[in-house]
Amino acid sequence: MELRISDFLKPEAVMMDLSAKDKISAIKELVEHMVTNNFARDRDELFNALAKRENLESTGIGDGIAIPHARTDAVGDLILVFARSSVGVDFSAFDGKPSYIIFLIASPENKKSEYIVALAKLSRLLRKSAVREQLRNASNNREILEIIKKNEE
């Protein structure tokens, strides 16, 4: 059965108003949210895996989107977390724009295939300006989930 991103995005994993103003603080806030909601079991291990990747590449893919991601055994399954920032966070995107929509993807080390497929599907989805617009204008968690579900084929 084909992987669907919406299957890995739980309502509790949607953060409608990220307070962080910089990349590292944003990742810390996302990690904290994951640990609080039992999506991750090791705060430090998860943060370190994400930060290591951020040091080596820009996960800001442009057009106001960032997709920080890592494979780490700090999570037990593939997990997707959505966060929205009203002021934008600098994820060092090549277009120079801050990121207002942030999707974090984390998976255990042994789920590389699913992880790559999830990243690919999400990246393709977020290239559509209509989807980005809908996500920026959504009012609540449920709408975010609906937007993802509706737009993934």
Active site residues: 69
112 vs 149, beta carbon nearer another protein: 112
Asked if 153 touches another protein (CB under 8 A), the answer is yes
CB-CB contact of 40 with 113 (8 Å): no
Q: Read off φ and ψ for residue 78, nearest 5 degrees.
A: -60, 130
Strand 65-66 and strand 99-107: the pairing is parallel
123 contact partners, CB below 8 Å, separation of at least 6 = 61, 67
9 vs 61, beta carbon nearer another protein: 61
Asked if 150 touches another protein (CB under 8 A), the answer is no
Count of residues engaged in binding another protein, rule: CB under 8 A = 18
Kindly list the residues in this chain that would bind another protein in the complex (CB under 8 A).
Answer: 52-53, 56-58, 61, 71, 94, 112, 116-117, 119-121, 123-124, 127, 153
